[in-house]
Structure 1
Amino acid sequence: MQADRFSRIKSWQQRYVDEQKYPGSALLVKRGGEELFFHAAGLRNIEEQLPFSRDTLVRLYSMTKPVTSLAMMILLERGLFHLDAPLSEFLPEFSNMQALVPGATAISQTEPCPVPTLHQLLTHTSGLSYAFNPGLVPEAMETAEVLFKPGQGDLAPMVARLAELPLAFQPGSRWEYSVATDVLGRVVEAVSGKPLGQFFAEEVFAPLGMRETGFRVPAGAGNRFASLYTPLAGDAMALNSAETGADPLRLTDSWQTSPFQQADMHSGGGGLVGTLDDYMAFAEMLRHRGRCGDGIIISPQTADFMMQNHLPGEIAAMGPQSFAEQPMEGMGFGLGGAVVLNPARARCPGSVGDFSWGGIASTFFWIDRKLDLSVVFLTQLAPSSSYPSRPELKALVHGALTA
């Protein structure tokens, strides 16, 4: 990389701050395991004028999903299940499933359907949905407060409440971003006999040295935990009724009063809090095909399996009707993240096989094993659909690679 090309990335980060798009951000790029670039800009806390720094703690939200998917791969390697197993084998409350009939106009218009498989949950083809998606099932989830928020109690009763609702469509017939990974977190608990947070801590975070990642802000972190901002006038997560407000950086979750300070919900779909270097350790493990130092989290073969496309083609061909963190054309989906199938179709520089995912607070990571590249970008603005920062960032990083 050349020095002037580094400066483009710094200027881009600063421009987002100057234009009041993001309060602040931090970016870390590694190539071949060596740090290639780090830069932080702006603030983690506008009210107290505290800088966004390398050790700033953020809400990772959906960047939790690859971690939960990795936990499933750890248990898969131990022979504790196979991916075509029905969910009801582990969570009996999902035994008698119903799905909305095509074109349903009421939540009561359902028909019997197969129980989703573990593989369908891992690939968001299970028929589950999210409350912020359009449709009858999301509306019912919102009404029943099946939201998996950090202050909503234990995981098990929330999953049981979800099981009382019908599926949005027949399993396997469509791709829809969903709380499926939260349900998989409960499967990890049922199979391992441990709370999800304990399993993560023992099987993932400790081996990787991720000392400040967990389902609540670590003790003693103080004001290193960033506040969350939104350009919307209402709920930052209410994507179906999003209205831009007068303040582009309205405080929506202060670090001091955030439910993440004392979170009790172990949301495998969006509950983790962590730092830049912690998540880079996770990304580097994936780039190393499951290895971490002298140890192994999962085998290289399982890591390759996880990061392959598991859909028949690209996401766009499976009729998605939901919000998603990534483009859908030119993109497939692995187990816990998106896979680049065709950079031209995705309209963004990259390599075939790039594995990535992001969170609703505009965080993002990707690994490119062809280029030995790992990139982690953190900020705290929701929703992530507010600005096209992810394709811009990928173009900047690839533009800075001169060999």
Structure 2
Amino acid sequence: MPDANVVAGLSLERLERITRHLDERYIQPGKLPGAVTLVARHGEVVWVKAQGLMDVERNKVARRDTIFRIYSMTKPVTSIALMQLYEQGRFLLDDPVHRYIPSWRDLQVYKAGVYPDFQTEPASRSMTIRDLLTHMSGLTYGFLNRTNVDAAYRTLKLDGSRDLTLDTLIERLAGLPLEFTPGTAWNYSVATDVVGYLVQQLADQPLDDYFREHIFGPLEMNDTGFQVRPDQQERFAACYLHQPDNTMKLQDDPEHSRYLREPVLLSGGGGLVSTVDDYHHFAQALSQGGAFRGQRIIGRKTLEFMRSNHLPDNQDLPALSIGAFSETPYEGNGFGLGFSVKTDVAKSHTNGSVGEYGWGGLASTNFFVDPVEDMVVVFMTQLMPSSSYPIRQELRAMVHGALV
């Protein structure tokens, strides 16, 4: 007789450990506002749980349809968009970026000095589109607070100021040195914003329109976009900032958020809001070889290519990374075209499968696809930065522990 407590090979009783763990360790002590977690296997949503609050100040309970800022979980969407155009023969991965952005022809690499008085040398090779997709471009992020180059990004407000457009970002980056010659190291960066710019150039369409037509529409992702519409505002979560004493303070009030206005910068690197179900539609399409409910967004072989480790000599991130970042653990993880890819389970210190891929966002959201177990997990919350607590690793331990 089948066990009613087991669905698609997952123990519901064991998945409930996630509820207790999040509640007892994070939500009740006031470390996290709330969370929505979704686990799917063999194409079936097995378990979804909304718990805690989506807005502590207004005592609003987290719901399955809560709207979250997904920050860098925008990156896989943007990467898929560009690879849709790759499938149409619009570009090749080893094309130099300056073929599409002429002002980037003679990019320089940092040697010494501080902005605006940099000493530079020419890059020993051109930046390619593949370098952008793999974060081996030599670009950086201002918030990394590591070098004189990222200090210049902060001075020029390249991580997002009210007047920054995609065109202005591209123009300003042309005048700044790279951290290293493209292809020689790995560094988390604004590269995926540049990927979004290339999507606009190649498709001759604004990024938000392109996403809607080619990804969100086909996948029925009706709550995902660069802006929170008036009809969604009631469901929009507050975002919080982790404090040194493990409390949190309000970082972005949902009633006064910039997400309520039409964005000036369509950030392919971090601009989207979404729900757990919408993002599951996207992740499930990836898990099913590029299609969901009969709608194909990418070819099966293209997706296989994207979720291969593209780091030189199949190395993992610690071998090539020049700076810390927190959207995935380092060891035993490589990087594909838009996702991290698990290359060695034991080395990663976290339960899972070789070939598992996914990414996370600045406010602690996360998703992963395990192709060996045919499983998709999406986790939504709103606490910055994502390095505050090891929830992602704990979640993997509990989910994989529920497989029977």
Hey, what's the Cα distance between the residues in 2 that align with 1:202 and 1:147? Answer: 27
Letter of the 1:301 counterpart: K
Take 2:113 and 2:265, find their aligned partners in 1: how far apart are those partners?
32
Question: Does residue 251 in structure 1 map to residue 250 in structure 2?
Answer: yes
Query: 1:73 corresponds to which residue?
Result: 83
SS at match of 1:385: coil
Matches within 5 A, 1:40-55: 40-55=50-65
Structure 1 residue 9 displacement after superposition: 1.0
Segments ≥4 residues shifted beyond 4 Å? none
Deviation of the 1:247 alpha carbon? 7.2
Partners in 2 of 1:250 and 1:116 — Cα distance?
Answer: 40
Match of 2:239 among 228, 238, 241: 228
Q: What residue in structure 2 maps to residue 236 of structure 1? A: none
Match of 2:5? none
Between the aligned partners of 1:157 and 1:253, the Cα distance in structure 2 is: 25
State the Cα distance separating 1:3 from its structure 2 match: 4.1
Deviations 1:369-398 (A, max 9, x none): 111100100000000000000000000000
Contact 2:135/2:189 (8 A) holds in 1: yes
Which residue is equivalent to 2:143?
132
Aligned twin of 1:342:
344
1:230 maps to amino acid: L
Q: Is the 8 A contact 2:158 2:164 kept in 1?
A: no
5+ long unaligned stretches in structure 2: 1-9
TM-score normalised by the chain length of structure 2: 0.93
Matched, 1:381 2:383: yes
Shift of residue 250 of structure 1?
Answer: 0.1
Query: Structure 1 CA distance, aligned partners of 2:135 and 2:40?
Result: 30
Whole-Å separation in 1 of the counterparts to 2:334 and 2:398? 23
| Secondary structure of residue in 1 paired with 2:187 | coil
The offset of 1:152, in angstroms, is 3.7
Distance 1:253 1:187 in 2: 30
- Is the 1:98–1:166 Cα contact (8 Å) retained in structure 2? yes
- The 8 Å contact of residues 126 and 182 in structure 2, kept in 1 or not, is answered as yes
Give the Cα separation in 2 of the matches to 1:183 and 1:148.
14
SS in 1 for 2:329: coil
**Aligned-partner SS, 1:220:** helix
Q: Does 1:60 pair with 2:59?
A: no
Whole-Å separation in 2 of the counterparts to 1:188 and 1:137: 26
Alignment of 1:179-198 (within 5 A): 179-198=190-209
The question of whether the paired residues in 1 share the 8 Å contact of 2:12 and 2:47 is answered with no
Q: Which residue of 2 aligns with 1:284?
A: 284
Aligned positions of 1:41-190 closer than 5 A: 41-101=51-111, 104-107=112-115, 108-113=118-123, 114-133=125-144, 134-148=146-160, 151-190=162-201
Whole-angstrom CA distance in 2 between matches of 1:100 and 1:162: 13
Alpha-carbon distance between aligned partners in 2 of 1:140 and 1:100, rounded to the nearest angstrom: 12
1:7 to 7, 11, 16: 16
Structure 1 CA distance for aligned equivalents of residues 355 and 337 of structure 2: 13
Give the CA deviation at 1:153.
Answer: 4.3
The C-alpha deviation readout for 1:306-336, integer Å capped at 9, x for no partner, is 1111002111111422323111110000111
Q: How many residues align?
A: 387
Specify whether residues 2 and 322 from structure 1 end up closer, same or farther in structure 2 by C-alpha distance, changes over 3 A only. Answer: closer
Counterpart-to-counterpart distance in 2, 1:367 and 1:185: 23
Paired residues of 2:31 and 2:246 also in contact (CA < 8 A): no
Distance 1:7 1:203 in 2: 36
Residue in structure 1 matching 2:322, options 320, 323, 333? 320
Preserved CA contact (<8 Å) 1:215 1:265: no
Letter in 2 for 1:187: L
Cα offset, 1:291, TM superposition: 1.3
Q: Is the 8 A contact 1:338 1:357 kept in 2?
A: yes
Query: How far is the alpha carbon of 1:94 from its aligned partner?
Result: 0.9
- Which residue number corresponds to residue 241 of structure 1? none
The separation in 2 between residues aligned to 1:3 and 1:83, in whole angstroms, is: 43
Q: CA deviation at 1:295?
A: 2.7
> What is the rounded CA distance, in whole Å, between the counterparts of 1:69 and 1:258 in structure 2?
27
Q: Distance in 1 between matches of 2:298 and 2:207?
A: 18
TM-score, with normalisation over the residues of structure 1? 0.94
- Which residue identity does 1:21 align to in structure 2? K
Q: In 2, distance between residues paired with 1:250 and 1:63?
A: 23
Q: Is the 8 A contact 1:348 1:391 kept in 2?
A: yes
User: What is residue 267 of structure 1 aligned with on the other side?
Assistant: 267
Percent of aligned positions that are identical? 43
In the alignment, is the contact (CA less than 8 A) between 1:26 and 1:377 conserved in 2?
A: yes
- The 8 Å contact of residues 219 and 295 in structure 2, kept in 1 or not, is answered as no
Gaps of 5+ in 1: 233-243
Deviation of 1:147 (Å): 1.1
Question: 1:60·1:270 contact (CA, 8 Å) conserved in 2?
Answer: yes
| Structure 2 CA distance for aligned equivalents of residues 351 and 247 of structure 1 | 32
Structure 1, 2-11 or 210-219: larger mean CA deviation:
2-11
Q: Which residue of 2 aligns with 1:208?
A: 219
The one-letter code sitting in structure 2 at the alignment partner of 1:123 is T
State the one-letter code of the partner of 1:314: D
Conserved? CA contact 1:148–1:158, under 8 Å? no
